[in-house]
């Protein structure tokens, strides 16, 4: 049995999927299997997976589209044989040491759920770090990207599978992470940057006419990962210094208001009215905007999570 099962949810994005898989293949930790689960893909994603000619890479395609990573991720969980589960976005990249550091952390800390640090890259914005531990914020309210996660497969026995879209206080990934945290499982962070995330709304993934950035970053990573790692950390440090020395009043005010909002959430809780209603409204509004920004047409996603709980194997 493999130590880790890597689950990659994908939909018609084979050009970035190829880069994501290459970053998995190049991991220093090699005891893994990969399940690439298509969300009713109609492109050449299956051929891309087969092209690696790696017996650890597996492909399956859902017959019905969910329009969210929940459906493919749940299918991957059903098929997983690994003790641990890791997720990778089909447009994200892992540094070669990603799985090695996560597995070491979860075992050293005797944790159930660990996460790394990601750098968020956009075409017209400076790099931003996300996922560093912060003792002042609970993981019940703080989101970390799934591409940074590693968790024990057995947590689903208590927490269930990923939620499907509906009236939720946040994204399906945040709700899943929050459910695990509130169930009392042990969390830990590596504190190490090992993920490059390219948020699809920033890059208009399905509406791009220009080349995608992933091939260039993958080439730099394969040539010398430590140089790319240092470059990204340096850019984030320089940006932080510039903000400190030349503060923007509007940006500072937004940060202050955000800090106040999350302090209120920590003290009051986000499951009580009116905050619960506000966060659900905010998520619906984000989803509506994100569909068009990504270049996708809206549709009604499958909404019956009972099918996955009933068919769990």
Domains along the sequence of the chain with CATH:
4-310 (3.90.550.10)
Distance of CA 73 to the CA centre of its chain: 11
For 127-136, how does the pLDDT look when each residue is reduced to its tens digit (9 = 90+)?
Answer: 999 887 665 5
Pairing of strands 113-122, 125-130: antiparallel
Residue 189, pLDDT > 80, answer yes
* Residue 274: cis peptide before it, omega within 30 degrees of 0: yes
For the chain, how many helices (H) and strands (E)?
12, 9
pLDDT value at position 1? 92
For 159-181, how does the pLDDT look when each residue is reduced to its tens digit (9 = 90+)?
Answer: 999 998 777 878 899 999 999 99
How does residue 204 score in pLDDT terms, banded at 50, 70 and 90? Answer: confident
For 214-258, how does the pLDDT look when each residue is reduced to its tens digit (9 = 90+)?
Answer: 999 999 999 999 999 999 999 998 887 777 677 677 777 776 777
How does residue 203 score in pLDDT terms, banded at 50, 70 and 90? Answer: confident
Residue 306, pLDDT > 70, answer no
Average pLDDT, the chain: 87
Q: Which residues of 183-207 are buried (b: 16+ CB within 10 A; e: fewer)?
A: eebebbbbebbbbbbbbbebbebee
For 48-104, how does the pLDDT look when each residue is reduced to its tens digit (9 = 90+)?
Answer: 999 999 999 999 999 999 989 999 999 999 999 999 999 999 999 999 999 999 999
pLDDT value at position 299? 47
Mean pLDDT of 277-295: 76
pLDDT value at position 45? 97
Mean pLDDT of 29-53: 97
How many angstroms separate the CA atoms of 121 and 258, rounded?
A: 21
Q: H helices within the chain, ranges in order? A: 14-25, 45-51, 70-79, 98-108, 156-159, 172-182, 200-203, 214-223, 225-245, 249-268, 275-294, 306-310
């Amino acid at each position: 049995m493999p130590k880790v099962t890597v689950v990659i949810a994908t939909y018609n994005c084979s050009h970035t999927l190829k880069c994501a898989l290459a970053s998995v293949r190049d991991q220093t930790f090699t005891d893994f299997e990969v399940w690439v689960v298509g969300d009713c893909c109609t492109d050449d994603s299956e051929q891309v997976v087969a092209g690696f000619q790696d017996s650890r890479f597996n492909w399956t395609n859902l017959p019905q589209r969910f329009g969210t990573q929940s459906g493919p991720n749940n299918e991957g969980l059903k098929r997983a044989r690994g003790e641990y589960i890791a997720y990778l976005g089909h447009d994200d990249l892992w540094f070669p040491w990603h799985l090695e550091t996560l597995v070491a952390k979860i075992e050293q800390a005797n944790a159930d759920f660990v996460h790394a640090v990601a750098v968020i890259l956009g075409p017209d914005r400076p790099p931003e770090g996300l996922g560093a531990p912060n003792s002042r914020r609970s993981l019940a309210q703080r989101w970390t990207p799934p591409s940074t996660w590693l968790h024990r497969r057995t947590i689903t026995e208590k927490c269930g599978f990923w939620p499907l879209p509906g009236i939720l206080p946040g994204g399906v990934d945040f709700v899943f992470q929050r459910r695990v945290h509130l169930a009392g499982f042990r969390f830990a962070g590596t504190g190490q940057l090992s993920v490059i995330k390219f948020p699809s709304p920033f890059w208009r993934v399905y509406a791009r006419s220009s080349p995608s950035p992933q091939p260039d970053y993958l080439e730099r990573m394969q040539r010398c990962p430590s140089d790319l790692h240092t470059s990204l950390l340096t850019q984030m440090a320089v940006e932080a210094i510039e903000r400190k020395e030349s503060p923007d009043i509007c940006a500072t005010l937004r940060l202050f208001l955000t800090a106040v909002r999350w302090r209120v959430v920590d003290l009051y809780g986000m499951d009580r009215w009116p905050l619960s209603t506000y966060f659900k409204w905010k998520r619906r509004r984000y989803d509506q905007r994100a569909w068009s920004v990504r270049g996708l047409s809206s549709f009604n996603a499958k909404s019956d999570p009972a099918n996955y709980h009933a068919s769990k194997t």
